[in-house]
């Protein structure tokens, strides 16, 4: 539960109360330990915390525009934000993740990148939030030697987090989640949705790949604007690379940032993925 608080000087903060179902405060400890190591414009700032008996609270900067999901899961989401703003949010998330994976003194795997955990300030600058599931890596490594249980939110969890037969759990697991977020931003909907006119549109990543591969375009999908589709096409292509089944086939977040610097036509369409596609 998150509340808006007011400081004596009139400033606003977000107060997040944690109810740890494990009873040992793991989520609270994870969040404090992880985020106190960070300082980046695209990562939320922890101002303080409270630990009193069983009560645990974290105090953050207040983000007046809330979380990304309320903008991309609504009708006319592209008209509300505009594609330039959506693109700025996407690149901001990428920079924040690249910092967590490479810029910290300890590499951090977030494990729960999703629209609900991307907060937007008054200027729609994105901030990665909620480090309750995060894990720290050795500064020289980008993977975990071991991990207890599955972490994340269904729909954004990388295959190797479900089963190690797909590969090693690493920073590439966050890359997968980022790709799913990118595709939901492009589609303005959840990637898996049963209430669609055509069966081919049930799983948006499959639909996007088919149209990009066959036609080099996302039309006739309603992109919410009449101008060039350069931004949507670029975001979708990068997203499809990020959700490759094999972690080795996914780009690093540093590579993702390089891809954002290219034009959509310079980006190669990745191989189509068949696992986890509900229409295959």
DSSP string, the chain: -EEEEE-TTS-EEEEEEE--TTSS-HHHHHHHHHHTT---TTBPPEEEEEEETTEEEEEEE--TT-BTHHHHSSTTHHHHH-HHHHHHHHHHHHHHHHIIIIISSS-EE-S--SGGGEEE-TT--EEE---TT-EE--TT-SB-S---S--S-TTT--HHHH-GGG---BHHHHHHHHHHHHHHHHHTS-SB-S--SSGGGSBHHHHHHHHHHHHSS-TTS--S-SS--HHHHHHHHHHHHHT-SSGGGSPPHHHHHHHHTS-GGGSPPPPPP-TT-TT-
According to CATH, the topology of domain 2-61 is: Phosphorylase Kinase; domain 1 (3.30.200)
Which sequence spans correspond to the domains of the chain? 2-61, 69-266
Domain range 69-266, its CATH number among 3.30.1490.190, 3.40.190.10, 1.10.510.10, 1.20.1260.10: 1.10.510.10
Task: Name the active-site residue from 20, 61, 69, 112.
Answer: 112
What is the C-alpha separation between 102 and 142, in angstroms, rounded?
9
Return the pLDDT at 31: 86
Return the pLDDT at 274: 65
Return the pLDDT at 22: 53
Q: Is 206 a catalytic site residue?
A: no
| Nearest CA among 67, 69, 86, 89 for reference residue 78 | 86
Return the pLDDT at 280: 35
pLDDT tens digits in sequence order for the chain, 280 residues long: 899 999 999 999 999 998 755 555 778 888 888 888 899 999 999 999 998 888 899 999 999 999 999 999 876 656 578 889 999 999 999 999 999 999 887 899 999 999 999 999 999 999 999 998 898 887 666 666 556 667 889 999 999 998 888 989 999 999 999 999 999 999 888 998 877 677 767 889 999 999 999 888 887 666 655 445 889 999 999 999 999 999 999 999 999 999 999 999 999 999 987 654 443 3
Return the pLDDT at 277: 42
């Amino acid at each position: 539960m998150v509340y808006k608080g007011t400081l004596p000087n009139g400033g606003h903060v977000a107060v997040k109360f944690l109810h740890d179902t494990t009873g040992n405060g793991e989520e609270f400890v994870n969040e404090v330990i992880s985020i106190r190591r960070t300082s980046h414009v695209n990562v939320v700032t922890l101002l303080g915390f409270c630990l009193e008996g069983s009560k645990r609270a974290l105090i953050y900067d207040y983000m007046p525009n809330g979380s990304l999901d309320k903008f991309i899961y609504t009708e006319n989401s592209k008209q509300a934000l505009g594609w330039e703003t959506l693109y700025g949010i996407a690149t901001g998330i990428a920079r924040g993740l690249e910092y967590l994976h490479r810029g910290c003194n300890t590499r951090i795997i977030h494990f729960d990148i999703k629209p609900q955990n991307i907060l937007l300030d008054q200027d729609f600058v994105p901030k990665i939030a909620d480090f309750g599931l995060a894990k720290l890596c050795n500064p020289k490594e980008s993977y975990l030697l071991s991990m207890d249980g599955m972490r994340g939110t269904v729909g954004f969890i990388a295959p190797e987090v479900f089963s190690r037969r797909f590969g090693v759990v690493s920073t590439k697991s966050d890359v997968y989640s980022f790709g799913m977020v990118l595709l939901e931003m492009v589609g303005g909907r959840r990637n898996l949705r049963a209430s669609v006119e055509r069966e081919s549109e049930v799983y948006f990543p499959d639909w996007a790949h088919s149209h990009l591969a066959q036609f080099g375009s996302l039309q006739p999908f309603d992109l919410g604007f009449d101008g060039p589709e350069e931004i949507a096409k670029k975001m979708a292509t990068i997203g499809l690379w990020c959700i490759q089944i094999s972690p080795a086939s996914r780009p690093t977040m540093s590579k993702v940032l390089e891809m954002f610097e290219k034009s959509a036509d310079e980006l190669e369409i990745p191989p189509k993925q068949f696992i986890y596609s509900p229409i295959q």
